[in-house]
A and B are shown apart, each in its own frame.
Chain A
Amino acid sequence: LALALSRPRGEDNIISEEEAAQYDRQIRLWGLDAQKRLRGSRVLLVGLRGLGAEVAKNLILAGVKGLTLLDHEQVTEESRRAQFLIPVDADGQNQAQASLERAQLLNPMVEVKVDTDAVESKLDDFFFRFDAVCLTRCSKDLMVRVDQLCASRNIKVFCGDVYGYHGYMFSDLGQEHHYVEEKPKVVKGSNEANDGPEAKKRKVDPNETTMVKKTISFCSLKEALEVDWTNEKAKSSLKRTPADYFLLQVLLKFRTDKGRDPQPDSFAEDSQLLLQIRDDVLETMGLSSELLPNTFVSYCFSEMAPVCAVVGGVLGQEIVKALSQRDAPHRNFFFFDGLKGSGVVDYFGSK
C-alpha cells in the first residue's frame, strides 16, 4: 500500500524558500506533499483559445514542473480577443508561440514550452513524456485515440471545451487512481464530568487530522460517449441525465463534420445544421429529439470568457488534484450551464 502512492517525481525533494513563500497559501490548503508532486509533473495542453489560456494560467500558477502549449493555429483578431495571454500585435503568429511569453511570466519557476504542430500529427510516444494531457478544441476521434494511448500508461487524460454559455470537462484517470483525503481525527474526548485521571490526560488537538488512502477507477472516453441508451436501466436514468451530455455529442459531431465549431458569422447555416445533427444523433441513440430543445442553438456559439473561466477553473483544479493525488476527483464529466449557473458532475460509461 505504501507503493500505491507514487513517489514525488521531483528531481530534488527540497522546497526552496522562494517556492515556500510564493506557494504558501496553497501549501496551507493542499499540503507540502501535494505541492511536491505538482512540482514533479509535466503536462501537455492542447489548444490555446479561451479555455486553454485559463487552464494554462491555473496550472502555471499551481507550480507544475513543465507545461507544453501545443497549438497549430494562427492568431486571428477573434482568437486574440478570446484570451489574455496573446499580445495585441501578434496577429498571424502561431497561437501557442504568441502565448508563451506572458504564460512564462505567470510563474518563472515552471518550464513553459511551445509546440506548433497539429496534435493529429503526433506519434504515440510524444504523449508518453507527460504525466497528464489536457485536450481542448480536439476532434472526438483524436480524443478517443489519445485517451486509449495514455490511460494504460497511467497518464491522466482530460478533455474540455466551451461552446457559448455551455462547457464541459471529462477525465480519465485510469483503472486505478490512488489518492488521499484528509479527514478529522476522531477524538475520544474525555467526559468533563469525570474527575479522575481521564480529565488529566494530554489533550488531543481537536483540529488534528489524518490522511485516508483511497482508490478509484475511470472508464475510457470511448465508453463514456458510447453509452447504450436502449436498455431499461439507461432509459430510467434519463430523467436525471443532464441535457448537456447530449449537447456535447451534437457539438462533437458538428466539429467532426465541419472541421470547426459553430461560428456567429454563419449563424443561420450553422443553426440549421446543429438542429439536423441533433435529430440524427438522438435518433441513432434511440432517443427523442425533445431531450435537447431547439433553443440550444442560441447559446452555443463562440467561447464566452466567463464560461471559459468557470470551466477552466474546474478543469485546472481537477488536473492539480490528479497530479497531486489528493482529494476525490470528479468522476467523470463536469457540465456547466452558464445560463442557469448550474454545474453538475455526472458519470457516463461502464460502472
Chain B
Amino acid sequence: AAALADSLSSCRVLVVGAGGIGCELLKNLVLTGFKNIEVIDLDTIDVSNLNRQFLFQKKHVGKSKAQVAKESVLRFCPSANITAYHDSIMNPDYNVEFFRNFQLVMNALDNRAARNHVNRMCLAADIPLIESGTAGYLGQVTVIKKGQTECYECQPKPTQKTFPGCTIRNTPSEPIHCIVWAKYLFNQLFGEEDADQEVSPDTADPEVAWNPADAAARATASNKDGDIKRVSTKEWARSTGYDPVKLFNKLFKDDIMYLLTMDKLWKKRKAPLPLDWTEIHQLESSQEEAFGTGLKDQQVLGVQGYAQLFHRSVETLRSQLIEKGEGAELVWDKDDPPAMDFVTAAANLRMNVFSMNMKSRFDVKSMAGNIIPAIATTNAVIAGLIVLEALKTLNSDFDQCRTIFLNKQPNPRKKLLVPCALDPPNPNCYVCASKPEVTVKLNVHKTIVQALQDKILKEKFGMVAPDVQIEDGKGTILISSEEGETEANNNKFLSDFGIRNGSRLQADDFLQDYTLLVNLIHSEELEKDVEFEVVGDAPDKAPAPSVPEEGKNIANGNKDSAQPSTSSKAAEDDDVLIVDSDEEPSSSTMEASPESSNRKRKHHDADTDATASKRKRLDQQPADDDEDIIALD
C-alpha cells in the first residue's frame, strides 16, 4: 500500500476535458492520492452544466472550466499540484514531447475529432490512454495501450447520419428533416451560405422524372429562367428587405406550390399543403392556453403561433445583421433565443405543410442542438471506473484492464456493470498498423484539393494538419500544412495534377506522427450526394439499434457530424449504445478561420453543419460536455 501511495504521488497524469466526466474524475484522482495532474479544456461554464459539473457554481458561468475546476479541487486538497490549460488539445503546442511528460492520459471528451487526435498522440508517445464516454444512463470505459490493445480507431465507427438533399429540399417525412432544413435556411438567410445547404426545391431530384435527361433539362431550364434558382436565397431576401411576410409566402406557399408541380413525387406520398399568410390569420385561432404547470418551451403552438414566431424572429435577426454591418454573417446558436426561435418556427411551419405533428421548442432544441441528456450519477460511476483502471495501468497490469459498460438495467446475467476483456490491435487499422493504408473511391475530375483535405483527410481520417505528396516519382506536393503554401491548389481538381485511377498519395500529420498511404480509385458512379467512399467501410447508415451486450457497438460522438442526429430514443433502451452527437456549441464570438483548433470557446454552441465543408467550425465544436460513448465492437 505504501509503494502504491508513492507511485501515485509521484506520477503525472493528464485529464483531457473538465466537464461532466472531468469534474468527477479530478475529484476521484485527488482523493485517491494522485498529486500531479494537468487538465485541459477549451470550454467555458454554462448554466446547463450545473446539474452535474459539480466543481462549478452559478457565479462561475462564463469562466474557463479547466481553471475553475482546478481552483475548486484545491479547496479540498490544497497539496495537489494541478496545472490548468484553457485551450484545445489539438493545438500544436501539445506535441508528442508534451504527452511524453505523463505516465497516463485520461480522456473526458465529448467529440470524436479530439478523441481521434489524442488517440494518435498517445500512440506516438506510447503512453497508456483511458477512454470513456457517457450519454444519459449509459456509459463506458476502456484502456488503450499501443501494441497491446485496440486503439481508439481500430474498429470503424458509424458516422453521423446524413440525409439526402432531396429529402431535405423536396420530400421531408420526419420532423428532423424539417429541422435540418430550417437550420440550412438560417445560414442561407443570415449566415454563411453553403452550396451543400440549399433550401429551395430541388429540380434535379432523380425521383421527379423517370427520364434522367428530363431532370437535367429541367435543372438547366430553371437556372435560365426559373425565379427560384437564379437568385440566391440571401440575395432574394435582401431584395425584399427581409420582409417576413414575403419570406413566409415564398418559403411556405410559392416554393411548396412549385414542389406540387413535380407531381411524380406525390403519387405515393401525401402532397404538401401550402400556407398563406393572410389566410392563416383569418382562421379561428386554436389558441394558446396558458402553459399552466409545464415548461413554457414544452408547449406546442398552432400554425398562427409559429407564423407569429417566424415573423418576430426574422425581424430580430434582421436587426442583428444590420447592427453588425456590411457583409455580416450570423452563426447559428441554440442558446441565442431569436436564432432558436427562427428554427423552431420555420421547422414547425414546414412540418405543418408536410402534415407532420408539430414539435415544441424544447424538442426542436434537442434535435437542432444535438443535445444529449446528462446527469451526475452516470458520470460519477464512469469516473470511478476510470480511476480503478488507472491504478491497474500504473502497475502495468494491462491484462487486468477491462472495457466496462454501464447499462441502465441489469442484463440476464444480473450484471449492471459489464467488464469485457480488451481486444488486441487490429492489424489492418488505418491508424495503429505499422504502415497504414486505405483505398478511397472518388471522381478525380470532380474532387477538389480542398475537399480532399477537409472532408477526407481531416474529417474522415482525423488528421489535424495534413501534408500530402503524390507518389508520382516526383514527390509533387499537393497539400502543405503550412498556411498559405498550397492555397493555390485548393480549388483545383485532383485530375489537374495528373491524379487518376490507381494513383497513390502519402498523407502525413507530423503533429500526430502519423502517415497514411491513400490509394485512389476513380469512379463516376458514386451515389448522389456522396463525394467519396472508403473501400471496406460499411455504407453510412443510421446508428445500430439494440445489439447484444458484450461486443456492443457504440458510436461515439458525432461532433464531426454534419446534421443533427435523429432523436436518440434508442439511447434509453437497455443495451443500446448510442450515437451521440456532440451538442452544438455556440458560435457567438468566433470568427471563421482556417485552422481553428486553437480557438478558445467563449460560449458553447457551434453549428453542426449539414456537410463537412465547414471544417473550420467543426474543429471547434465545443459541446456541452455531453460525453460520448466509445465505439467498441
Contacts and interface: CB of A to CB of B under 8 A. Distances in A.
Given A26-B373, A202-B357, A346-B414, A61 B51 contact: yes
A84 interface: yes
Nearest to B404: A341
B224 interface: no
Given A195-B267, A207-B567, A25 B174 contact: no
A22 B419 contact: no
A26 B374 contact: yes
B267 A85 contact: no
Interface string A88-111: 100000000000001001111000
A122 interface: no
A309 interface: yes
Contacts of B32: 304-306
Interface in A116-165: none
B384 interface: yes
A305 B387 contact: yes
A205 B357 contact: yes
B343 to A, nearest CB: 17
Contact of A314 (B267, B269, B416, B572): B416
A184 interface: yes
Interface in A14-38: 14-15, 20-30, 32, 36
A199 B51 contact: no
Given A20-B295, A25-B52, A341 B376 contact: no
A233 interface: no
B137 interface: yes
Contacts of A310: 380-381, 384-385, 388, 417
A343 interface: yes
Given A81-B31, A82-B31, A205-B174, A28 B366 contact: yes
Contact of B28 (A32, A309, A344): A309
A345 interface: yes
A46 to B, nearest CB: 19
A243 interface: no
B546 to A, nearest CB: 11
10 residue pairs, one from A and one from B, having the closest CB atoms: A343-B417, A309-B384, A29-B373, A305-B31, A313-B380, A313-B381, A310-B384, A306-B387, A341-B419, A200-B270
Interface of A: 13-15, 20-30, 32, 36, 50, 54, 57-58, 61-63, 81-88, 102, 105-108, 182, 184, 192, 195, 199-207, 209, 240, 264, 304-310, 312-314, 316-317, 320, 327-328, 330, 334, 336, 338, 340-346
Given A29-B374, A32-B294, 14 more contacts: A13-B293, A25-B626, A58-B376, A62-B375, A195-B267, A207-B566, A306-B32, A306-B383, A306-B387, A309-B384, A313-B384, A314-B416, A317-B377, A345-B415
28 contacts: A21-B47, A22-B50, A27-B295, A28-B371, A29-B136, A29-B374, A57-B54, A58-B377, A102-B76, A184-B569, A199-B269, A202-B270, A202-B355, A203-B356, A209-B569, A306-B384, A307-B388, A309-B380, A313-B376, A313-B377, A313-B380, A317-B375, A317-B377, A317-B378, A336-B417, A341-B404, A341-B419, A342-B419
Interface of B: 1, 24, 27-28, 31-32, 47-48, 50-52, 54, 57-58, 75-78, 136-137, 173-175, 267-270, 293-295, 297-298, 355-357, 362, 366, 371-381, 383-389, 402, 404, 406, 408-410, 414-419, 566-567, 569, 572, 624, 626
